Amino acid sequence: MKGIREIEHSMKEGRLELQIQIDRKRAAQMGLRTSQIAMTVRSAIQGGVPNRYKVDGKEYDLRVQLKWDDRNLENLLLTASLGTQVPLS
C-alpha cells in the first residue's frame, strides 16, 4: 500500500520444545538426580563449551555436540552415582 514503510510483525518463529517426564522415584533408585538428567540431555542437544580459543585477540567458544543423526535420546546413556550406565529410556 502506498505510504506504508518498515512494517514489522510480532510473530516470531517458535523454538522446538522437548518435554521429558522423569520418574523421580525410579531415577533415585538408579542413583540419578533430576538436575543431572537435565544437564546430560541439554548437553546432548545443545552441546557444551569445554574450552575457548583465541584468534587475533578475539575469543571463540569451542562447542562440542552430537551430530543430528546421533541425537536419539532414548539411547542416551546417563552415568549413575556408582558409575553405572543407565539409558534415558
- CATH code at position 46: 3.30.2090.10
Alpha carbon distance 64, 62 (integer Å): 7
Q: Which domain holds residue 75?
A: 24-87
Provide the domain count of the chain: 1
- pTM here is 0.64
Size (the chain), residues: 89
Residue with cell 556408582: 82
Q: How many CA atoms, within 13 angstroms, populate the side-chain half-sphere of residue 65?
A: 17
Of 67, 69, 72, 83, nearest in space to 18 by CA: 72
Grid cell in block for residue 9: 510483525
Instruction: Establish if 44 belongs to a structural domain.
Output: yes
First-to-last CA distance in the chain?
A: 55
Instruction: Establish if 46 belongs to a structural domain.
Output: yes
Q: How confident is the prediction along the chain (89 residues), in pLDDT tens digits per residue?
A: 567 667 666 666 766 777 889 999 999 998 899 999 998 888 888 888 888 888 899 998 888 877 777 777 888 889 888 788 988 88
